[in-house]
A and B are shown apart, each in its own frame.
Chain A
Amino acid sequence: EAGVTQFPSHSVIEKGQTVTLRCDPISGHDNLYWYRRVMGKEIKFLLHFVKESKQDESGMPNNRFLAERTGGTYSTLKVQPAELEDSGVYFCASSQVITSPLHFGNGTRLTVT
């Protein structure tokens, strides 16, 4: 089975620009999560989709971040406008049911200069 895929693997943008990250979960996984790891720190939860609905978005830092999952398949995470502190690795994860361990993608490394 194909794993969780994320695109792009790296993105370097200037402060004030917009970036959109994409995540394709494992087929059939209703639960999709976004996490972020800022340099040297813990991996932090951003939000959780169940199909196309946002189940929990308590970890979203501010309204510059917008996540969508139209049709309950792939998801996008848009940062607009990007700030320096948004730099980090953004991980997507999915699970078939909420009690299953998460399968993570390889992450998108975002650098804001």
Chain B
Amino acid sequence: DQQVKQNSPSLSVQEGRISILNCDYTNSMFDYFLWYKKYPAEGPTFLISISSIKDKNEDGRFTVFLNKSAKHLSLHIVPSQPGDSAVYFCAASDSGGGADGLTFGKGTHLIIQP
């Protein structure tokens, strides 16, 4: 049973526009959420995180929003750039702010079109 769900296997966005990647979770014990980015033949790279005590975290072009009541988080990338084309994984932890034993979603393949 998947506890972290990324329902869009792929997403195509035009360069310069906003990319919105969504993630839903079922485990109410999750209290720390992360987004990882992965290029082919490489390992996932940490992008941005958010604690359950916040509803928004911003880092440059990347913003993560958390809606605890809906058990939903989203990653916004604006403006989207060609180098953003990658697979994005949503991950969650129930270890009180730590990254121990992350539960990942299946990933969303973001394609930025020129």
Contact = CB atoms under 8 A, between A and B. Distances in A.
A107 B42 CA distance: 7
Contacts of A55: 100
A103 B43 CA distance: 8
Name the residue in A31, A35, A99 with the highest tally of chain B Cβ atoms < 10 Å from its Cβ: A99
Contacts of B45: 104
Given A40-B106, A106-B41, A101 B46 contact: yes
B54 to A, nearest CB: 15
B34 interface: yes
Interface residues of B, number: 25
A45 B102 contact: yes
Contact of A42 (B42, B95, B105): B105
A105 to B, nearest CB: 5
B31 to A, nearest CB: 12
B102 A102 contact: yes
B43 A99 contact: no
Interface in A37-75: 40-45, 48, 55-56, 58-59
Contacts of B102: 35, 43, 45, 102
B2 interface: yes
B99 A45 contact: no
Given A41-B106, A42-B107, A45-B103, A99 B98 contact: yes
Nearest to A109: B41
Interface in A1-31: 4, 31
